[in-house]
Amino acid sequence: MKKTLSLLVVLFVFALSNNVMAQRGPAASPTATVKQMVGNTEMEIVYSRPSLDGRDMAKLAPAGKVWRTGANANTKINFNKDVMLGGKAVPAGEYSMYSIPGDGEWTIIINKAKSWGTQYDESQDVVRFTAPATKTSASVETFRIDMTDFDKNDKDNANIELAWGNVSVKFPIKVTN
Protein backbone atom coordinates (compact mmCIF):
# COMPACT_ATOMS: atom_id res chain seq x y z
CA MET A 1 0.00 0.00 0.00
CA LYS A 2 2.84 2.38 0.88
CA LYS A 3 4.55 1.63 -2.44
CA THR A 4 1.36 2.35 -4.37
CA LEU A 5 0.76 5.58 -2.49
CA SER A 6 4.39 6.66 -2.95
CA LEU A 7 4.20 5.85 -6.67
CA LEU A 8 1.00 7.88 -7.03
CA VAL A 9 2.56 10.87 -5.23
CA VAL A 10 5.67 10.70 -7.44
CA LEU A 11 3.55 10.49 -10.60
CA PHE A 12 1.38 13.39 -9.45
CA VAL A 13 4.40 15.60 -8.68
CA PHE A 14 5.99 14.66 -12.03
CA ALA A 15 2.80 15.49 -13.96
CA LEU A 16 2.39 18.77 -12.09
CA SER A 17 6.01 19.83 -12.68
CA ASN A 18 5.74 19.09 -16.44
CA ASN A 19 2.59 21.24 -16.65
CA VAL A 20 4.25 24.12 -14.84
CA MET A 21 7.36 23.96 -17.03
CA ALA A 22 5.27 23.78 -20.22
CA GLN A 23 3.57 27.09 -19.52
CA ARG A 24 5.09 29.98 -21.43
CA GLY A 25 5.15 33.63 -20.64
CA PRO A 26 4.05 36.37 -23.02
CA ALA A 27 5.50 36.25 -26.53
CA ALA A 28 8.60 38.37 -27.10
CA SER A 29 7.00 39.68 -30.33
CA PRO A 30 3.23 39.42 -29.82
CA THR A 31 0.94 38.97 -32.81
CA ALA A 32 -1.36 41.85 -33.71
CA THR A 33 -4.26 42.13 -36.14
CA VAL A 34 -5.46 45.33 -37.78
CA LYS A 35 -8.93 45.11 -39.37
CA GLN A 36 -10.30 48.13 -41.17
CA MET A 37 -12.89 49.09 -43.76
CA VAL A 38 -11.84 51.60 -46.39
CA GLY A 39 -14.85 52.43 -48.48
CA ASN A 40 -16.62 49.08 -48.92
CA THR A 41 -13.40 47.08 -48.85
CA GLU A 42 -12.45 44.93 -45.86
CA MET A 43 -8.75 44.88 -45.04
CA GLU A 44 -6.77 42.86 -42.55
CA ILE A 45 -3.10 42.91 -41.59
CA VAL A 46 -1.67 40.23 -39.28
CA TYR A 47 1.89 40.71 -38.04
CA SER A 48 4.21 40.20 -35.07
CA ARG A 49 5.45 43.21 -33.10
CA PRO A 50 9.15 43.11 -32.18
CA SER A 51 10.46 45.54 -29.57
CA LEU A 52 13.74 47.41 -29.73
CA ASP A 53 14.58 46.50 -26.12
CA GLY A 54 17.82 48.48 -26.27
CA ARG A 55 18.79 47.04 -29.66
CA ASP A 56 19.62 48.99 -32.80
CA MET A 57 16.77 49.03 -35.33
CA ALA A 58 19.31 49.08 -38.18
CA LYS A 59 20.51 45.62 -37.09
CA LEU A 60 16.99 44.21 -36.73
CA ALA A 61 15.74 45.64 -40.07
CA PRO A 62 18.95 46.30 -42.02
CA ALA A 63 18.98 48.87 -44.82
CA GLY A 64 19.07 47.39 -48.30
CA LYS A 65 17.96 43.90 -47.18
CA VAL A 66 14.53 42.28 -47.43
CA TRP A 67 12.79 42.34 -44.02
CA ARG A 68 9.66 40.39 -43.15
CA THR A 69 8.13 43.65 -41.83
CA GLY A 70 7.70 42.38 -38.30
CA ALA A 71 8.94 39.29 -36.48
CA ASN A 72 8.31 35.54 -36.50
CA ALA A 73 5.95 34.65 -39.37
CA ASN A 74 5.86 37.03 -42.31
CA THR A 75 3.29 39.82 -42.28
CA LYS A 76 -0.02 38.93 -43.95
CA ILE A 77 -2.18 41.52 -45.68
CA ASN A 78 -5.50 40.82 -47.34
CA PHE A 79 -8.34 42.64 -49.08
CA ASN A 80 -11.75 41.34 -50.12
CA LYS A 81 -11.77 43.63 -53.21
CA ASP A 82 -9.16 44.98 -55.59
CA VAL A 83 -7.11 47.92 -54.24
CA MET A 84 -4.32 50.29 -55.22
CA LEU A 85 -1.27 50.20 -52.92
CA GLY A 86 1.37 52.83 -53.45
CA GLY A 87 -0.30 53.61 -56.78
CA LYS A 88 -0.06 49.97 -57.98
CA ALA A 89 -3.04 47.66 -58.61
CA VAL A 90 -3.35 44.67 -56.26
CA PRO A 91 -6.13 42.10 -56.87
CA ALA A 92 -8.31 40.98 -53.96
CA GLY A 93 -6.69 38.20 -51.92
CA GLU A 94 -4.19 37.39 -49.18
CA TYR A 95 -0.54 38.31 -49.56
CA SER A 96 2.72 38.51 -47.64
CA MET A 97 4.17 41.96 -47.08
CA TYR A 98 7.91 42.49 -47.00
CA SER A 99 9.95 45.68 -47.04
CA ILE A 100 13.47 46.86 -47.76
CA PRO A 101 14.41 49.64 -45.31
CA GLY A 102 16.47 52.51 -46.68
CA ASP A 103 17.57 56.03 -45.89
CA GLY A 104 14.73 58.36 -46.78
CA GLU A 105 12.56 55.67 -48.42
CA TRP A 106 11.59 52.04 -48.06
CA THR A 107 10.62 49.57 -50.75
CA ILE A 108 7.31 47.87 -49.96
CA ILE A 109 6.83 44.40 -51.45
CA ILE A 110 3.50 42.61 -51.82
CA ASN A 111 4.21 38.93 -52.47
CA LYS A 112 1.85 36.03 -53.15
CA ALA A 113 3.98 33.34 -51.44
CA LYS A 114 2.62 32.15 -48.11
CA SER A 115 6.01 31.08 -46.76
CA TRP A 116 7.22 31.50 -43.20
CA GLY A 117 9.17 34.53 -42.01
CA THR A 118 12.42 35.07 -43.84
CA GLN A 119 11.75 32.59 -46.67
CA TYR A 120 11.24 35.34 -49.24
CA ASP A 121 10.84 34.39 -52.93
CA GLU A 122 11.23 37.39 -55.27
CA SER A 123 9.61 35.49 -58.16
CA GLN A 124 6.33 35.65 -56.21
CA ASP A 125 6.24 39.48 -56.05
CA VAL A 126 2.91 41.01 -57.09
CA VAL A 127 4.01 44.65 -56.77
CA ARG A 128 6.92 46.71 -55.45
CA PHE A 129 6.89 50.43 -54.79
CA THR A 130 8.77 52.94 -52.69
CA ALA A 131 7.39 54.97 -49.81
CA PRO A 132 8.98 57.90 -47.98
CA ALA A 133 10.56 57.17 -44.59
CA THR A 134 10.44 60.13 -42.25
CA LYS A 135 12.24 60.66 -38.94
CA THR A 136 9.95 61.21 -35.97
CA SER A 137 10.63 63.03 -32.71
CA ALA A 138 9.00 60.33 -30.57
CA SER A 139 10.42 56.83 -30.59
CA VAL A 140 8.17 53.79 -31.04
CA GLU A 141 9.53 50.96 -28.86
CA THR A 142 7.36 48.16 -30.26
CA PHE A 143 6.88 47.95 -34.03
CA ARG A 144 3.38 48.80 -35.19
CA ILE A 145 1.32 48.92 -38.36
CA ASP A 146 -1.70 51.24 -38.46
CA MET A 147 -4.29 52.47 -40.91
CA THR A 148 -4.18 56.29 -40.81
CA ASP A 149 -5.17 59.49 -42.59
CA PHE A 150 -8.63 58.43 -43.77
CA ASP A 151 -10.25 60.59 -46.42
CA LYS A 152 -13.38 61.65 -44.55
CA ASN A 153 -15.01 63.06 -47.69
CA ASP A 154 -14.50 60.37 -50.33
CA LYS A 155 -13.94 57.56 -47.78
CA ASP A 156 -12.07 55.58 -50.42
CA ASN A 157 -8.46 56.06 -49.37
CA ALA A 158 -6.16 56.06 -46.38
CA ASN A 159 -2.54 55.34 -45.53
CA ILE A 160 -0.86 52.30 -44.07
CA GLU A 161 1.84 53.34 -41.62
CA LEU A 162 4.81 51.29 -40.45
CA ALA A 163 6.34 52.84 -37.31
CA TRP A 164 9.38 51.73 -35.32
CA GLY A 165 12.15 53.55 -33.53
CA ASN A 166 12.25 57.08 -34.93
CA VAL A 167 11.01 56.03 -38.39
CA SER A 168 7.56 56.33 -39.93
CA VAL A 169 6.80 54.92 -43.38
CA LYS A 170 3.42 55.75 -44.90
CA PHE A 171 1.99 54.58 -48.20
CA PRO A 172 -1.46 55.11 -49.72
CA ILE A 173 -4.21 52.57 -50.11
CA LYS A 174 -7.07 53.42 -52.44
CA VAL A 175 -10.24 51.46 -53.15
CA THR A 176 -12.46 51.86 -56.19
CA ASN A 177 -15.85 50.80 -54.85
Q: What is the pLDDT of residues 29-80, one digit of tens each?
A: 899 999 999 999 999 999 999 999 999 998 999 999 999 999 998 899 999 9
**pLDDT for 26 beyond 60:** yes
User: Do 100 and 64 meet the contact criterion of CB atoms below 8 Å apart?
Assistant: yes
Question: Measured between alpha carbons, how far is 129 from 69 in angstroms, rounded to an integer?
Answer: 15
Q: What is the pTM of this model?
A: 0.83
Give me the amino acid identity at 140: V
CA-closest candidate to residue 106, choices 55, 161, 24, 39: 161
- The confidence score (pLDDT) of residue 66 equals 94
Question: Measured between alpha carbons, how far is 101 from 66 in angstroms, rounded to an integer?
Answer: 8
Three-state SS for 7?
Answer: helix
> For residues 86 and 19, which has the higher predicted lDDT (pLDDT)?
86
Radius of gyration of the chain (CA): 22
